[in-house]
Structure 1
Protein backbone atom coordinates (compact mmCIF):
# COMPACT_ATOMS: atom_id res chain seq x y z
CA UNK A 1 0.00 0.00 0.00
CA UNK A 2 2.87 2.38 0.82
CA UNK A 3 4.30 1.79 -2.65
CA UNK A 4 0.97 2.74 -4.26
CA UNK A 5 0.82 6.01 -2.28
CA UNK A 6 4.44 6.74 -3.15
CA UNK A 7 3.74 6.06 -6.84
CA UNK A 8 0.61 8.26 -6.76
CA UNK A 9 2.56 11.06 -5.06
CA UNK A 10 5.33 10.88 -7.66
CA UNK A 11 2.82 10.93 -10.52
CA UNK A 12 1.05 13.87 -8.87
CA UNK A 13 4.30 15.82 -8.55
CA UNK A 14 5.59 14.90 -12.01
CA UNK A 15 4.12 18.05 -13.65
CA UNK A 16 6.14 20.14 -11.18
CA UNK A 17 9.32 18.24 -12.00
CA UNK A 18 8.70 18.45 -15.74
CA UNK A 19 8.02 22.18 -15.41
CA UNK A 20 11.42 22.60 -13.73
CA UNK A 21 13.07 20.61 -16.53
CA UNK A 22 11.34 22.81 -19.13
CA UNK A 23 12.54 25.96 -17.35
CA UNK A 24 16.08 24.61 -17.22
CA UNK A 25 15.88 23.72 -20.92
CA UNK A 26 14.67 27.26 -21.71
CA UNK A 27 17.63 28.76 -19.83
CA UNK A 28 20.05 26.48 -21.67
CA UNK A 29 18.81 27.51 -25.11
CA UNK A 30 20.94 29.97 -27.05
CA UNK A 31 19.65 33.50 -26.57
CA UNK A 32 20.98 37.06 -26.75
CA UNK A 33 21.41 36.91 -22.96
CA UNK A 34 23.80 33.94 -22.91
CA UNK A 35 25.44 33.65 -26.34
CA UNK A 36 27.13 36.01 -28.72
CA UNK A 37 29.83 36.48 -31.31
CA UNK A 38 32.84 38.62 -30.36
CA UNK A 39 34.69 40.38 -33.17
CA UNK A 40 37.69 42.63 -32.65
CA UNK A 41 41.31 43.61 -33.14
CA UNK A 42 44.53 43.07 -31.23
CA UNK A 43 47.86 44.84 -31.28
CA UNK A 44 51.04 43.73 -29.59
CA UNK A 45 54.78 43.81 -29.25
CA UNK A 46 56.66 40.60 -30.11
CA UNK A 47 58.72 39.17 -27.25
CA UNK A 48 61.19 36.30 -26.96
CA UNK A 49 62.17 34.60 -30.23
CA UNK A 50 59.58 36.58 -32.24
CA UNK A 51 61.23 39.88 -31.24
CA UNK A 52 64.28 38.95 -33.35
CA UNK A 53 62.17 38.67 -36.52
CA UNK A 54 59.24 41.06 -35.96
CA UNK A 55 58.66 44.59 -34.74
CA UNK A 56 54.86 44.61 -34.30
CA UNK A 57 51.91 42.19 -34.20
CA UNK A 58 48.44 43.12 -35.43
CA UNK A 59 45.52 40.73 -35.37
CA UNK A 60 41.84 40.04 -35.93
CA UNK A 61 39.94 38.18 -33.23
CA UNK A 62 36.67 36.24 -33.58
CA UNK A 63 34.96 34.19 -30.86
CA UNK A 64 31.70 32.39 -30.25
CA UNK A 65 30.77 32.48 -26.57
CA UNK A 66 28.22 30.65 -24.42
CA UNK A 67 27.58 31.95 -20.90
CA UNK A 68 26.72 29.10 -18.47
CA UNK A 69 25.78 31.49 -15.71
CA UNK A 70 26.55 35.17 -15.04
CA UNK A 71 30.18 34.31 -14.21
CA UNK A 72 31.41 31.43 -16.40
CA UNK A 73 31.69 31.33 -20.19
CA UNK A 74 33.20 28.93 -22.71
CA UNK A 75 33.56 29.13 -26.45
CA UNK A 76 35.69 28.80 -29.53
CA UNK A 77 38.28 31.30 -30.73
CA UNK A 78 40.11 31.98 -33.95
CA UNK A 79 41.42 34.86 -36.00
CA UNK A 80 44.77 35.84 -37.41
CA UNK A 81 47.80 37.60 -35.94
CA UNK A 82 50.27 39.05 -38.42
CA UNK A 83 53.84 39.61 -37.26
CA UNK A 84 55.44 42.36 -39.34
CA UNK A 85 58.98 41.31 -40.34
CA UNK A 86 62.07 43.36 -39.60
CA UNK A 87 65.77 43.23 -40.57
CA UNK A 88 65.22 41.17 -43.74
CA UNK A 89 62.60 38.83 -42.26
CA UNK A 90 59.28 38.36 -44.05
CA UNK A 91 55.93 38.80 -42.34
CA UNK A 92 54.58 35.66 -40.69
CA UNK A 93 51.42 34.82 -38.79
CA UNK A 94 49.46 32.61 -36.42
CA UNK A 95 45.92 31.30 -36.98
CA UNK A 96 44.55 29.86 -33.73
CA UNK A 97 41.98 27.09 -33.49
CA UNK A 98 41.21 27.21 -29.79
CA UNK A 99 38.68 26.80 -27.07
CA UNK A 100 38.41 29.45 -24.41
CA UNK A 101 37.26 29.91 -20.86
CA UNK A 102 36.34 33.18 -19.16
CA UNK A 103 35.43 34.08 -15.60
CA UNK A 104 33.42 37.29 -15.18
CA UNK A 105 33.51 38.63 -11.62
CA UNK A 106 30.47 40.90 -12.14
CA UNK A 107 28.00 41.61 -15.01
CA UNK A 108 30.20 44.59 -15.96
CA UNK A 109 33.79 44.81 -14.82
CA UNK A 110 36.86 42.62 -14.46
CA UNK A 111 37.29 39.29 -16.23
CA UNK A 112 40.01 36.64 -16.48
CA UNK A 113 40.29 34.16 -19.30
CA UNK A 114 42.47 31.99 -21.47
CA UNK A 115 42.47 30.42 -24.92
CA UNK A 116 44.02 26.99 -25.38
CA UNK A 117 44.37 25.18 -28.68
CA UNK A 118 46.57 24.85 -31.74
CA UNK A 119 48.23 27.75 -33.54
CA UNK A 120 48.78 27.22 -37.28
CA UNK A 121 51.83 29.18 -38.43
CA UNK A 122 52.02 30.90 -41.81
CA UNK A 123 55.16 31.81 -43.76
CA UNK A 124 57.61 30.00 -41.45
CA UNK A 125 59.63 27.25 -43.12
CA UNK A 126 59.64 23.72 -41.68
CA UNK A 127 56.94 24.52 -39.12
CA UNK A 128 53.20 23.89 -39.16
CA UNK A 129 52.49 25.31 -35.69
CA UNK A 130 52.09 24.14 -32.13
CA UNK A 131 50.34 24.54 -28.80
CA UNK A 132 48.61 27.93 -28.57
CA UNK A 133 47.86 29.71 -25.26
CA UNK A 134 46.50 33.21 -24.77
CA UNK A 135 45.75 34.28 -21.16
CA UNK A 136 43.83 37.55 -20.77
CA UNK A 137 42.73 40.04 -18.13
CA UNK A 138 40.34 42.84 -18.94
CA UNK A 139 37.20 44.89 -18.56
CA UNK A 140 33.83 43.98 -20.08
CA UNK A 141 30.31 45.30 -20.33
CA UNK A 142 27.28 44.16 -22.32
CA UNK A 143 28.74 45.34 -25.65
CA UNK A 144 32.54 45.65 -25.35
CA UNK A 145 35.61 43.83 -24.02
CA UNK A 146 38.97 45.58 -23.55
CA UNK A 147 41.82 43.37 -22.39
CA UNK A 148 45.54 42.82 -22.03
CA UNK A 149 46.94 39.51 -23.22
CA UNK A 150 50.03 37.35 -23.59
CA UNK A 151 49.92 35.15 -26.69
CA UNK A 152 52.32 32.22 -27.11
CA UNK A 153 52.52 29.55 -29.81
CA UNK A 154 54.95 26.79 -28.83
CA UNK A 155 56.36 25.66 -32.16
CA UNK A 156 57.49 22.12 -32.91
CA UNK A 157 61.04 23.43 -33.25
CA UNK A 158 62.96 25.11 -30.44
CA UNK A 159 61.35 28.53 -30.84
CA UNK A 160 58.12 30.17 -29.73
CA UNK A 161 56.07 32.94 -31.30
CA UNK A 162 55.02 35.32 -28.53
CA UNK A 163 53.58 38.78 -28.14
CA UNK A 164 52.16 40.96 -25.38
CA UNK A 165 49.43 43.43 -26.20
CA UNK A 166 45.91 44.77 -25.92
CA UNK A 167 42.69 43.82 -27.65
CA UNK A 168 39.19 45.16 -28.12
CA UNK A 169 36.13 43.09 -29.11
CA UNK A 170 32.53 44.02 -29.81
CA UNK A 171 29.74 41.61 -28.84
CA UNK A 172 27.24 40.75 -31.59
CA UNK A 173 24.15 39.19 -29.97
CA UNK A 174 22.43 36.13 -31.45
CA UNK A 175 18.70 36.71 -31.99
Structure 2
Protein backbone atom coordinates (compact mmCIF):
# COMPACT_ATOMS: atom_id res chain seq x y z
CA UNK A 1 0.00 0.00 0.00
CA UNK A 2 2.85 2.39 0.83
CA UNK A 3 4.46 1.75 -2.54
CA UNK A 4 1.13 2.48 -4.21
CA UNK A 5 0.96 5.92 -2.53
CA UNK A 6 4.52 6.63 -3.63
CA UNK A 7 3.83 5.69 -7.25
CA UNK A 8 0.58 7.69 -7.34
CA UNK A 9 2.47 10.69 -5.92
CA UNK A 10 5.14 10.47 -8.59
CA UNK A 11 2.59 10.07 -11.37
CA UNK A 12 0.65 13.05 -10.04
CA UNK A 13 3.77 15.21 -10.35
CA UNK A 14 4.78 13.92 -13.81
CA UNK A 15 2.85 16.59 -15.77
CA UNK A 16 4.79 19.25 -13.89
CA UNK A 17 8.13 17.67 -14.82
CA UNK A 18 7.09 17.34 -18.46
CA UNK A 19 6.05 20.97 -18.93
CA UNK A 20 9.46 22.54 -19.47
CA UNK A 21 12.53 20.91 -20.96
CA UNK A 22 14.83 23.95 -21.30
CA UNK A 23 15.93 24.71 -17.72
CA UNK A 24 17.85 27.90 -16.95
CA UNK A 25 19.13 28.12 -13.37
CA UNK A 26 19.17 31.74 -12.19
CA UNK A 27 19.01 33.54 -8.81
CA UNK A 28 15.38 34.37 -9.64
CA UNK A 29 14.22 30.76 -9.98
CA UNK A 30 16.62 28.58 -7.97
CA UNK A 31 18.02 28.71 -4.46
CA UNK A 32 18.85 26.79 -1.33
CA UNK A 33 16.62 26.90 1.73
CA UNK A 34 18.26 26.32 5.13
CA UNK A 35 16.48 26.41 8.45
CA UNK A 36 15.29 24.81 11.66
CA UNK A 37 12.19 22.94 12.81
CA UNK A 38 10.62 22.16 16.18
CA UNK A 39 7.87 19.66 16.78
CA UNK A 40 5.89 17.48 19.12
CA UNK A 41 5.75 13.74 18.42
CA UNK A 42 2.29 12.22 18.03
CA UNK A 43 1.10 8.63 17.57
CA UNK A 44 3.70 5.91 18.25
CA UNK A 45 6.49 8.46 18.62
CA UNK A 46 4.78 10.19 21.55
CA UNK A 47 5.21 7.00 23.60
CA UNK A 48 9.01 7.31 23.50
CA UNK A 49 9.72 10.99 22.76
CA UNK A 50 8.33 14.29 23.99
CA UNK A 51 9.99 16.83 21.66
CA UNK A 52 12.00 17.06 18.46
CA UNK A 53 14.32 19.65 16.92
CA UNK A 54 15.59 19.54 13.39
CA UNK A 55 17.55 21.06 10.55
CA UNK A 56 15.92 21.59 7.15
CA UNK A 57 17.89 21.84 3.90
CA UNK A 58 16.30 22.16 0.45
CA UNK A 59 17.23 22.94 -3.13
CA UNK A 60 14.36 24.57 -5.03
CA UNK A 61 13.60 25.31 -8.68
CA UNK A 62 10.62 27.50 -9.69
CA UNK A 63 8.94 26.46 -12.95
CA UNK A 64 6.88 29.65 -12.86
CA UNK A 65 5.97 32.11 -10.08
CA UNK A 66 3.55 29.57 -8.56
CA UNK A 67 5.01 26.05 -8.93
CA UNK A 68 8.28 24.80 -7.42
CA UNK A 69 9.97 21.42 -7.09
CA UNK A 70 13.17 20.36 -5.44
CA UNK A 71 15.05 18.03 -3.16
CA UNK A 72 14.78 18.02 0.63
CA UNK A 73 16.84 16.56 3.43
CA UNK A 74 17.93 17.44 6.93
CA UNK A 75 17.80 15.84 10.35
CA UNK A 76 15.13 15.60 13.07
CA UNK A 77 16.36 14.70 16.55
CA UNK A 78 13.76 13.09 18.82
CA UNK A 79 14.53 13.52 22.52
CA UNK A 80 13.70 10.28 24.34
CA UNK A 81 11.50 10.15 27.41
CA UNK A 82 12.93 8.55 30.56
CA UNK A 83 13.96 4.93 29.93
CA UNK A 84 14.18 5.61 26.15
CA UNK A 85 17.15 6.73 24.08
CA UNK A 86 17.18 9.65 21.68
CA UNK A 87 16.81 8.79 18.00
CA UNK A 88 16.77 10.61 14.69
CA UNK A 89 15.26 10.83 11.24
CA UNK A 90 17.13 11.76 8.05
CA UNK A 91 14.73 12.33 5.14
CA UNK A 92 15.77 12.08 1.51
CA UNK A 93 12.85 13.42 -0.48
CA UNK A 94 11.57 15.34 -3.42
CA UNK A 95 9.24 18.24 -2.73
CA UNK A 96 6.51 20.20 -4.43
CA UNK A 97 5.24 23.66 -3.47
CA UNK A 98 2.46 25.85 -4.76
CA UNK A 99 2.83 29.59 -4.12
CA UNK A 100 -0.41 31.52 -4.48
CA UNK A 101 1.37 34.91 -4.82
CA UNK A 102 4.98 36.18 -4.82
CA UNK A 103 4.59 36.76 -1.07
CA UNK A 104 2.01 35.07 1.09
CA UNK A 105 0.45 31.65 1.51
CA UNK A 106 2.01 28.44 0.18
CA UNK A 107 1.11 24.74 0.28
CA UNK A 108 3.61 21.96 -0.19
CA UNK A 109 4.67 18.44 0.57
CA UNK A 110 7.80 16.30 0.72
CA UNK A 111 7.72 12.69 -0.44
CA UNK A 112 10.59 10.24 -0.09
CA UNK A 113 12.33 7.92 2.34
CA UNK A 114 13.09 8.60 6.01
CA UNK A 115 16.20 6.90 7.39
CA UNK A 116 16.07 6.24 11.15
CA UNK A 117 19.14 6.59 13.36
CA UNK A 118 19.71 4.89 16.73
CA UNK A 119 16.70 2.57 16.27
CA UNK A 120 17.37 -1.17 16.40
CA UNK A 121 15.90 -3.42 13.70
CA UNK A 122 14.47 -0.51 11.73
CA UNK A 123 16.12 1.35 8.85
CA UNK A 124 13.18 3.65 8.07
CA UNK A 125 10.38 3.88 5.55
CA UNK A 126 8.09 5.99 3.38
CA UNK A 127 8.30 9.66 4.39
CA UNK A 128 5.71 12.38 3.78
CA UNK A 129 5.73 15.93 5.13
CA UNK A 130 2.82 18.22 4.09
CA UNK A 131 3.23 21.92 4.92
CA UNK A 132 1.28 25.16 4.94
CA UNK A 133 2.99 28.46 5.47
CA UNK A 134 3.91 32.03 4.64
CA UNK A 135 6.77 33.04 2.36
CA UNK A 136 8.45 36.13 0.99
CA UNK A 137 11.61 36.60 -1.08
CA UNK A 138 13.93 35.65 1.78
CA UNK A 139 11.99 33.66 4.43
CA UNK A 140 9.54 30.77 4.78
CA UNK A 141 7.54 30.18 7.99
CA UNK A 142 5.42 27.03 8.03
CA UNK A 143 3.52 24.43 9.99
CA UNK A 144 4.03 20.77 9.15
CA UNK A 145 2.80 17.26 9.79
CA UNK A 146 5.58 14.73 9.34
CA UNK A 147 4.90 10.99 8.99
CA UNK A 148 7.27 8.10 8.35
CA UNK A 149 5.78 4.64 7.88
CA UNK A 150 8.81 2.64 9.00
CA UNK A 151 9.52 -1.07 9.13
CA UNK A 152 8.02 -3.33 11.82
CA UNK A 153 4.75 -1.34 11.96
CA UNK A 154 6.38 1.79 13.40
CA UNK A 155 4.39 4.91 12.47
CA UNK A 156 6.59 7.91 13.35
CA UNK A 157 4.60 11.18 13.36
CA UNK A 158 5.23 14.77 14.48
CA UNK A 159 3.53 18.14 14.14
CA UNK A 160 5.44 21.38 14.38
CA UNK A 161 6.71 24.61 12.92
CA UNK A 162 9.71 25.51 10.82
CA UNK A 163 11.54 28.48 9.38
CA UNK A 164 13.94 28.56 6.43
CA UNK A 165 16.07 31.27 4.88
CA UNK A 166 16.49 31.43 1.08
CA UNK A 167 20.14 31.44 -0.01
CA UNK A 168 20.21 32.74 -3.59
CA UNK A 169 22.73 31.58 -6.20
CA UNK A 170 24.78 34.45 -7.61
Aligned to 1:107: 102
Query: Where does structure 1 lack aligned partners over 5 or more consecutive residues?
Result: 1-23
Count how many residue pairs are aligned between Structure 1 and Structure 2: 150
In structure 1, distance between residues paired with 2:156 and 2:106: 25
Larger radius of gyration: 1
Q: 2:65 matched to 1:79?
A: no
Aligned to 2:52: 57
- Runs (4 or more) in structure 1 with deviation over 6 Å come to none
Relative to the length of structure 1, the TM-score reads 0.84
Cα offset for 1:87? Answer: 2.1
Query: Where does structure 2 lack aligned partners over 5 or more consecutive residues?
Result: 1-20
Aligned to 2:64: 69
* SS of corresponding position for 1:124: coil
In structure 2, distance between residues paired with 1:136 and 1:89: 29
Aligned to 1:33: 28
Equivalence map 1:10-49=2 (5 Å): 25=22, 28-49=23-44
Relative to the length of structure 2, the TM-score reads 0.87
After superposition, the CA RMSD in angstroms is 1.0
Cα offset for 1:38? Answer: 0.1
* SS of corresponding position for 1:132: strand
Aligned to 1:150: 145
* SS of corresponding position for 2:122: coil
In structure 2, distance between residues paired with 1:81 and 1:142: 26
Cα offset for 1:159? Answer: 1.5
Q: Which has the higher helix share?
A: 1
Alpha-carbon displacement from aligned partner over 1:123-165 (angstroms, at most 9, x marks no partner): 1110000000000000000000000000011011112111000
